[in-house]
Amino acid sequence: MLSLIVQRLLIGVVTVFAVSLIIFICTQWLPGDAAEIRLGQSATEANKAALRAELGLDKPLAVQYMNWATNFLQGDLGKSLAGDRSISESIGDRYQSTVTVSVLTAAIGIPLSLFLGIMAAMFPSTLYDRILTFVSVSLVAVPDFFTATLMVLIFVFAWDALFGFQLANVVVIGNTQDMGVFELIGHYALPIATLCFVIASQVIRMTRAAVLNVMSSPYIEMAILKGVPRKRIILRHALLNAIGPIVNVIALNLAYLVSGVVVIEVYFAYNGLATFMVQGVQQRDFILVQSIGMLFCATYVILMLIADIASIVSNPRLRHPK
């Protein structure tokens, strides 16, 4: 098991290195730079060259990459090219907003999705299973911005027209530092509900498919022939052997909650890391874009590593060669 974990760690390190190169090269392809954005069109070439030298943009690309990568490995995200402010300080509040919404969504959406998926596996081909499968497949096919629009139409405008008040706020703004858990859920109600629908569509389908796939195994058929109740078979025997693909899907959705919610953050106007990264692209703040991109990459690698370890621990067959 230790060798498998070390192997996953090495793969994660190689992935982070490759992604860092891709991010750095892609940011260099963007037209313009921070000097042109900060000084404007009326600035002279001499002024732009002086600012590029001050920001270190005149150095060779290899030197810029090595300086940035070295600082990042030391925990120093550097200074923003757009305002000379520390990136670590700039992303503090935005990181808190992103993590808050992600944690609340995961705490609500993941257990509910697992429960619905297990219930669908317990009663396959029933009306409940067919309705749940239809809804989950429909949600997979619907983009997240359309789901967000439906949530606003239903819980804001339609609710206001029927009952005379809005059930939730369209724009999520305000200080949340002194709020409790339930106050935070009410404050971020629409983003959380939208993201729960997004992740539930995948987790429900994968949970149902993984459990039903294990249910066709010989040892499950033997348990059925012995008269073991279906609920006990699924919860005590089938679920542990089906946990591998379920954990992988959960890890991917958790990573999406941190790094893939650009549309949701922009739609509901709350400041998170994703919107901050978009602003960095607009301002040609390469250091900011690279730093946030690497944070997203590290989040993916860590979550997938945890998912792999959980799969190996839960399924002894993965610890032995076939």
Concatenate the DSSP letters of all residues of 23-59 into one string: HHHHHHHSSS-HHHHHH-TT--HHHHHHHHHHHTTTS
Tell me the two tokens of residue 62. 């290899």
Q: From 256, 221, 259, 225, select the one nearest 237 (Cα to Cα).
A: 221
Please, how many CA atoms are within 13 Å of residue 297, restricted to the half-sphere of its CB?
A: 20
**Would you say residue 229 lies in a domain?**
yes
Average of per-residue pLDDT across 65-83 = 81
User: In the prediction, which pLDDT does 260 show?
Assistant: 67
CB-based contacts of 273: which residues, under 8 Å, 6+ apart? 91, 94, 95, 98, 258, 259, 292, 295, 296
What CATH code is carried by the domain that includes residue 212? Answer: 1.10.3720.10
pLDDT of 111: 92
What is the extent of the structural domain holding 270? Answer: 2-31+77-319
Q: State mean pLDDT over 193-204.
A: 88
Main-chain dihedrals φ then ψ at residue 86, nearest 5 degrees:
-60, 130
Better-predicted residue by pLDDT, 111 or 221: 111
For residue 303, being part of any structural domain is answered with yes
> Which residues, 6 or more positions from 12, have their beta carbon under 8 angstroms from its beta carbon?
301, 302, 304, 305
Whether 97 is in a domain gets the answer yes
Length of the chain: 322
Indicate whether 10 pLDDT > 70.
yes
Domain count, the chain: 1
3-state secondary structure of 280: helix
- b vs e for 104-122, b when ≥16 Cβ sit within 10 Å of the residue's Cβ? bbbebbbeebbebbbbbbb
38, part of any domain? no
What does residue 162 show for φ and ψ, rounded to 5 degrees? -85, -40
**What are φ and ψ of residue 277, in 5° steps?**
-65, -40
For residue 170, the model assigns a pLDDT of 58
* 296 inside domain: yes
Give pLDDT, residue 165: 62
65 assigned to some structural domain: no
State yes or no: pLDDT of 37 exceeds 80: no
161-194: pLDDT as tens digits: 776 666 666 556 555 666 777 778 877 888 888 8
In-domain check, residue 305: yes
Sign (positive or negative) of CA dihedral 90, 96, 101, 105: positive
The reply to whether 293 falls in a domain is yes
For range 2-28, the mean pLDDT: 84
Question: Can you tell me which residue has the tokens 């206001």?
Answer: 160
pLDDT at position 110: 92
Q: What is the pLDDT of residues 111-166, one digit of tens each?
A: 999 999 988 888 888 899 899 989 888 888 888 888 888 888 887 777 777 766 66
